Structures are given as C-alpha cells and as structure tokens.
Structure 1
C-alpha cells in the first residue's frame, strides 16, 4: 500500500516496487533504502504492493484510475526515485513495468519522464542470473526515461541470507542499499542547486 509522504524540507524520494505478496524481498529492500534516505533528511513516499496493482497502461486513454493518478502525481513531484523489482523469469515483473509505463503521462512536462532525477535500482530474485538481468533491465528502462541510474545498482540473491529474522537487510546487501540510497539523495541535493547551463 502507499504510505503518506513523510514530513520535512528535504528532497522528495519516491519508491516504487515490491509485489502483492506480503513481505516480499523486493519490497523489504525498497523500504529499507527509503528509510536510509529519510535518515539523510529526505522526504519519502512509497508506492508498493497493491498500490501498484493498476489497470494495464493504455496510451490512447486519458482517464486514469485513482491509483494511477496518484502514482503519476508522485513521480511528477519526485526529486529522486528508487525502483525495486522482483526478477520474474529473468526479467522485470509485469506489475512494475506497467507502473513505469505510466510515466508516459509525463512526456509533455517541463521535466519529461524522469528527466534530471537520480534513480536507484534494486532487483531481487532467487538466484544471481535473474537478479542481475533484472537489474540491467531496470537501468536500461531508467535511461530510456531520461533518468540517471545511480552508479551503484543492487542485485539481491534472495536464495542467500539477505535478511535477519525481523526482515531487515543485513551484510553486503544492507551496505549496498545504504550506499545506493546515499547516491540518490546526494544527486537530488546537487540538482537542487540548479542544472548546469548547456555550453555554446
């Protein structure tokens, strides 16, 4: 579900991810990363689980479901984005891809799509092949949407111990999620100072 936006004066980081299965690895990783951005002074808003169970994106229709309208509005305001997908058959899940397709509604904005925003990418799957191929797809999608994938993307092999008994990431996955979250917030602060003017 979508939680309310946290308060404060920092950049707004929007999280998209997870599955409809309660306690999924990808959603736990997403929430952990957003928690780190909050520690760094960012405001956060998470769209996960059933909040992403949206109608199939239809570009020829302008009417949007309430959930789709909320997602588009959140992305329009975002200073940074974190996306977490499970690796389904070696690829981004249909639910996450469909949610990202709604960014087409931002195509005529002053900041079209995810332009000028850092995007942290997380992929979780029961094996390295699916997690790494899904991460590569998330980064490619981010490029196509004019976003800036953070230098560090996180591939998590959920077949290995990644979480403690409370469901919190531990060890190397936790370190990588923290570093990636830091990069998203740092980039957002840099962009807040204003874009670098084009040469010539």
Structure 2
C-alpha cells in the first residue's frame, strides 16, 4: 500500500506539517510505503492552464499522487480557508490523479480548530472525484506542540491521529479490494 502525504504549509515548523510527519511515523510503523511532499521544500510556480510545459517539481508532485493508493493532505487554516500554497498544488491536479482514492484531511489553526479549511479541502477532494475519509483531524492553538522526536505532547492528539490513520488505511484497503474485484470481472 502506498500513501502520499502532502504538507500544505510554507512555514518552517508548521503545526500541520509536524502532525503530518507524526502520521508518517504511524504509517511507517504499519509497514506502509509513504511519500511525503512538503510544499515548503518543493516550491511550485503559480498554476496556469496556459503553461506550455510542467516544471519537474510539478511532475514529482503529480507522480506521487498518481502512484498513491491513498492521500493525507494537511493545511494550516488561513482566514477560514486552506493555504494558498496548497491550493496552488491542488490546482495542478485533475480527476485522473485523485479519482477513487481515499483522502484524509488534516488542519491546524491559530484558534480552537480549523474546521472551515477541512470543509473546503473536502469540497476540493470531491471535485477531484476523491473519496473523503469519514475521519478528519484539526489541531488548534496551543495543542500543536510536539516533542523533540516529533510526537505530539498531548495524548488526545496522539490518539486522534492513530484513529485517523487507521480509518484511512481501512478505507484504502476496502477501495483497493473493490478495484481488484472489478478488474477481475472485466478481465
């Protein structure tokens, strides 16, 4: 199983990226192949449908998404929405990259929770024909603290992250089995 994680912040030490990296360790512990795309480290030019040729970093992003069986997308919440960096990356994608794949949405916010960004992210996933995971996760101000090893200090956050990862893996297995069954019937 291949899961691609997309960190949608360009801030050094972003809580959303720290949470995503913690989820990466949970996936690695479960022997899942993980690709992490950190948009802070992979700057993309502003999307334009008139772009004659896609830059190599865009190809890297799209390849990681295409090869994934499931996705985890993390964003900080800015002004009640997802980050501009993440929106730009998502604009490069189309249904051919995301359709039928489970997607876990994750956010961090300066206030109590980042629910608005999660709702908007799930709307984008639906428009890309992805399958939103029934679980989502947001951490708010003060709860985004992590120890030196990258583990959330708050036990509740660790527990919620583990639950969200399990939900994603269960949904991914179900969808992969469904695709395999359909392929067997059409062969």
Fold similarity call, TM over 0.5:
yes
Over the aligned positions, Cα root-mean-square deviation in angstroms equals: 1.7
CA separation in 1, counterparts of 2:68 and 2:8?
Answer: 19
Q: Judge which range, 182-191 or 65-74, deviates more.
A: 182-191
Q: Quote the offset at 1:70 in angstroms.
A: 0.3
Residue in structure 1 matching 2:117, options 134, 138, 159: 134
The Cα shift of 1:165 comes to 3.3
Instruction: Tell me the distance in 2 between the aligned counterparts of 1:141 and 1:118.
Output: 13
**Cα deviation code 1:17-66 (max 9, x no counterpart):** 14222211010011111221222221000001433421011112241111
- Give secondary structure in 1 for the equivalent of 2:121: helix
SS of match in other structure, 2:145: coil
Match of 1:19 in 2: 9
Q: Secondary structure in 2 aligned to 1:113?
A: helix
- Normalising by structure 2, report the TM-score: 0.88
Summarize the alignment of residues 59-70 of structure 1 with structure 2, pairs less than 5 Å apart: 59-70=49-60
Q: Secondary structure at the match of 2:115?
A: helix
Any residues of structure 2 matched to 1:1-200 within 5 Å, and which? 11-104=1-94, 107=95, 112-128=96-112, 131-157=114-140, 159-166=141-148, 167-169=150-152, 170-195=154-179
Runs (5+) with no aligned partner, structure 2: 183-187
Q: How many corresponding residue pairs?
A: 179
* Structure 1 gap ranges (5+): 1-10
The 1-side partners of 2:33 and 2:146 are apart by 26
Match of 2:185 in 1: none
TM-score normalised according to structure 1 size: 0.82
